[in-house]
Amino acid sequence: AFKKADPTPHAEQAEPTFRTNFFNTVRLCNNLLPMLTCVEGDKARIVNVASFAGSLKILKDTKRRDQLSSIIANGDEGALIDFASEFVADTKAGNEPSKGWPSSNYGFSKLCLIAYTKILAAREKNVVVNAVCPGWCSTDMSSHSGPRSAEKGAETPIFLASSKEVTTSGGFYQDLAL
């Protein structure tokens, strides 16, 4: 996430933000999937670190919202990657408002990650796949302005990665709950 005081123009923030938060996460998950195996009858797990900044409400344009909903319903990972790529290109060109895109590179990258989590969860029956928001933590990313500790933020990701209680996929968690 670029800080508000960062001098990098908004149009130049889209590509590195999406590369880190979405495209490379998708690539890593897909590359690791063939290696994930069950251990002692427990399914393998993927926990994607998302954010409530990526809630669907940031996508105010109903056509874009419907487009994303259709991509998720169809489980079309390629269309999701194209959707995210279109956002990056439109943002680089300064056209995101007129094309119905949200103004937050970070939030939209996390919304795309949540969408990917849902697609992956529906597709991969032998893997428990969920997303998590650690919350606004006091870390370098927040310039230590977050109200919760990094340890508190790590509780739910660790819980999702290790708890035998969590057996369903496609959820979005915070504070140990859906």
pLDDT single digits (tens) 123-146: 999 999 999 998 766 666 656 777
Q: What is the pLDDT of residues 24-35, one digit of tens each?
A: 999 999 999 999
Task: Say if pTM beats, i.e. exceeds, 0.85.
Answer: yes
Q: How far apart are CA 150 and CA 93, in angstroms?
A: 36
User: How many Cβ atoms are within 10 Å of 68's Cβ, its own excluded?
Assistant: 20
8 Å CB contact between 105 and 91: yes
Dist. CA 137–CA 169, nearest whole Å:
25
β-pairing, 127-132 vs 172-173, is: parallel
What is the set of active-site residues?
Answer: 106
| Sign of the CA dihedral running 16, 31, 123, 121 | negative
Six-digit token pair at 172?
């979005």
Residues 6+ apart with CB under 8 A from 30: none
Ranges of the chain whose pLDDT falls below 50: none
Residue in the block written with tokens 């880190």: 20
Q: Which residues pair with 132 in a beta bridge?
A: 49, 173
Separation of alpha carbons 7 and 3, rounded Å: 9
